[in-house]
Amino acid sequence: MAVKTFTTNEVLTASDTNTYLANSGLVYVTSATATSGSYLDILSCFSATYTNYLVLIDNAVASATLGVQIALTTGSTPTLNAANWVWGQARPDYAASTFSYTKEINSSYGNQVCVATTSTPSSGKCELFRPNKTTYTDALSHGQDGRGSTGYMPLLTSGTLQNSTAYTGLRVAFTGGTITSLSVTVFGYRTA
């Protein structure tokens, strides 16, 4: 949709407001928080309304230093032990002048977004491409990893869920421990 240009003294109608101001790039879908448990399910957040989504993870604090990962769900069933999750991850630790790379084929969980620690909150974002379509779902994540030699370092992950399932929700899990604090917000990318 083209951007409309308004002129001085032009009347802004309700129709214009509803059409042009509501057609922003990101549209809020839902959010949830947790202060206990090992995962947080957000069911029914993916639909045919949007093709691609942005998931923001904020204030992630855990009972130990844990990876925060996303698995996709159909109903309330997550894609755990998925033989089709393939992802790679890069961790540049600038202070220590090191760089590490990890790859997972037939990952036992989903795409890792950030690493939560016991004291300082971590955050990250994951872009999900086509989760509600009957085709592969791609994931691109960028978050924080507090295990660097002098504090936080970036964590970059990309992956593909290689199946033809149309997913309707997601599970954010702290692998191997419990949540102390977690906030998750889901947005849809508007295309028109």
Neighbouring residues of 143: CB distance < 8 A, sequence distance ≥ 6? 57, 68, 112, 113, 114, 115, 122, 123, 124, 125, 154, 155, 157
What is the CATH code for 27-189?
2.60.120
Confidence of residue 76 (pLDDT cuts 50, 70, 90): confident
Under a CB-based contact definition with an 8 Å cutoff, are residues 149 and 64 in contact?
Answer: no
CA distance 113 to 57: 8
**pTM: predicted TM-score of the whole model, two decimal places:** 0.82
Residue 2 has pLDDT above 60, yes or no: no
pLDDT tens per residue across span 78-123: 776 555 666 677 766 655 566 666 666 655 566 788 888 888 888 9
- Measured in residues, the chain has a length of 192
Domain boundaries of the chain, sorted by first residue: 27-189
Q: What is the DSSP string of 98-156?
A: EEEEEEEES-SS-EEEEEEBSSS-EEEEEEEESTTSSS-EEEEEEEEEEEETTEEEEEE
pLDDT score of 100 = 64
